[in-house]
Amino acid sequence: MSKPIQAIRGMNDCLPAETAQWQQVEAIIRQTVASYGYSEIRFPIVEFTDLFKRSVGEVTDIVEKEMYTFEDRNGDSLSLRPEGTAVCVRAANQGALLYNQQQRLWYMGPMFRHERPQKGRYRQFHQFGVESYGFESADMDAEVIILSARLWKAFGITEHVRLEINSLGSNEARADYSAALVEYLKEHEAQLDEDSKRRLTTNPLRILDSKNPDVQAVLTDAPKLSEHLDQESIEHFEQLKQRLDAAGIEYVVNEKLVRGLDYYNRTVFEWITESLGSQGTVLAGGRYDGLVEQLGGKATPAVGFAMGIERFVLLLQTLNILTEPTSTADVYIVAAGQGTELKAVEIAEMLRDSAPEIRVVTHSGGGNFKKQMKRADKVGAAVALILGEQELENQQVNIKFLRQQAEQETISWSDIAERVRSAIAE
Ligand code: ATP
Ligand code: MG
């Protein structure tokens, strides 16, 4: 036998039992975004590489090392999308949704990054995200955070996540701070690691969230981002905090929170859990007022977030919050005897016509009565409808209750839907 072909490392299958858990998560997500008036947007998985270079940033980890980039048959450089924000801006702008308008959008789907696969970090993963366009004030920063908090509430995990927020200020304030930080760090360059030295010239703010304790030690006396914020951003940040207070959402201000993408200004935030080890950021986002213009649209303020669905599902599994599916059918139709098989198919279709919400499985593949009943039990059906030659002649079926103590009954075909409905409601 030849060796079976395996999936690509870091790209996972979602088998039926786990898919059922994802569906529980997706259902709550859909319900939550709808309850805030957000509309779903769908966009391609492949885009021109330039889109990500011009938005996420050329010297970010994502663009430098993590993108799946290839040349297509026309010689264009294309990339599998590593994130949704830039694509959403591209799509909303192209679809004329932005200029002089307000939009509340959401999306969900696979993203691709060539990272080292480990628990909570994959090469194909999924994000659910929201993006709001045309809102400048901090109400909207608060709204998307409040929306995310409602997801935790819906699953009862509020106590297992914490919110960190920060303000990066205006682009000028950020550049001003960046220069001050570089000046300070250059004086202490000998104590920096290779990564941080490289970032001194490419992406200095990222040094702030270095995991290296020696680098963190140097940072203790570094200039503070908050000391370089512009007045308007300070006020914007104050308004955000007031709104979170009013909504009863707890947060800590983490002055070193900077995020790894270039497009953020003012608010940045992350929801973090301690229950998943080092891959603890479940949801992250912020304001990106400059991005639309940077990608060729008319200047439009914007704020949003993305949640890693795998990490969220992992968290819910760890906390035992998702239920395992126990059955794939409510009704199993057993046909034993001359001519019964064809009628069974007809009865099943009739039942689906009058009761589309009921899951009906007809036995397939032959076998005696006992074998068929075994299958009925295996799929977790609540009742078996049994059609034998006698029943066929009388236009009846036997209904056997598989999950409750009740005598088998004989009912006529026209009563099946009603009887099955009441049986599975019990
Ligand atoms: P990290 O610091 O963990 O690498 P990030 O800053 O790269 O995260 P974002 O680009 O902001 O993350 O993406 C938002 C969310 O998407 C993350 O908080 C995380 O939940 C999820 N995510 C990001 N990369 C991966 C990945 N490779 N596998 C699974 N989930 C991911
Ligand atoms: Mg990352």
CA of 82 to the centre of ligand 1 (A): 10
Asked if 370 contacts 383 with a C-beta cutoff of 8 angstroms, the reply is no
Q: State the pLDDT at residue 107.
A: 98
Q: Do domains 16-170+230-318 and 331-425 have the same CATH topology?
A: no
Q: Indicate whether residue 330 lines ligand 1 (CB < 6 A).
A: no
Rounded to two decimals, the pTM is: 0.93
Nearest by Cα to 64 from 53, 76, 51, 79: 53
Q: State the pLDDT at residue 260.
A: 74
CA of 297 to the centre of ligand 2 (A): 27
Nearest by Cα to 226 from 152, 287, 169, 284: 169
Q: State the pLDDT at residue 329.
A: 96
Q: State the pLDDT at residue 169.
A: 94
Nearest-atom number in ligand 1 for the CA of 115 is 27
Asked if 105 contacts 39 with a C-beta cutoff of 8 angstroms, the reply is yes
CA of 126 to the centre of ligand 1 (A): 10
Q: State the pLDDT at residue 54.
A: 93
Q: State the pLDDT at residue 202.
A: 86
Q: Indicate whether residue 125 lines ligand 1 (CB < 6 A).
A: yes
pLDDT in tens, 269-308: 999 999 998 889 999 999 999 999 999 999 999 999 999 9
Q: Which fold has domain 16-170+230-318?
A: BirA Bifunctional Protein; domain 2 (3.30.930)
List the domain boundaries for the chain. Answer: 16-170+230-318, 331-425
Q: Could you tell which of 56, 311, 312 is best to mutate to test the pocket of ligand 1, judged by most ligand atoms within 8 Å of the CB? A: 311
Nearest-atom number in ligand 1 for the CA of 261 is 10
For the chain, residues with pLDDT lower than 70 are none
Dist. CA 239–CA 138, nearest whole Å:
6
Q: Indicate whether residue 311 lines ligand 1 (CB < 6 A).
A: yes
- Show the 3-state SS of the chain: CCCCCCCCCCCCCCCHHHHHHHHHHHHHHHHHHHHCCCEECCCCCEEEHHHHHHHCCCCCHHHHHHCCEEECCCCCEEEECCCCHHHHHHHHHHCCCCCCCCEEEEEEEEEECCCCCECCECCEEEEEEEEEECCCCHHHHHHHHHHHHHHHHHHCCHHHCEEEEEECCCHHHHHHHHHHHHHHHHHCHHHCCHHHHHHHHHCHHHHHHCCCHHHHHHHCCCCCHHHHCCHHHHHHHHHHHHHHHHCCCCCEECCCCCCCCCCCEEEEEEEECCCCCCCCEEEEEEECCCHHHHCCCCCCCEEEEEEEHHHHHHHHHHCCCCCCCCCCCCEEEEEECCCHHHHHHHHHHHHHHHCCCCCEEECCCCCCHHHHHHHHHHCCCCEEEEEEHHHHHHCEEEEEECCCCCCCEEEEHHHHHHHHHHHHHC
CA of 352 to the centre of ligand 2 (A): 47
Closest C-alpha residue for ligand 1 atom 24: 121
Q: Could you tell which of 119, 281, 303 is best to mutate to test the pocket of ligand 1, judged by most ligand atoms within 8 Å of the CB? A: 281
Q: Indicate whether residue 282 lines ligand 1 (CB < 6 A).
A: yes
Its CATH architecture, for the domain 331-425, is: 3-Layer(aba) Sandwich (3.40)
Closest C-alpha residue for ligand 1 atom 20: 308
How wide is the angle at C-alpha 371 spanned by C-alphas 370 and 372, nearest 5°?
A: 90
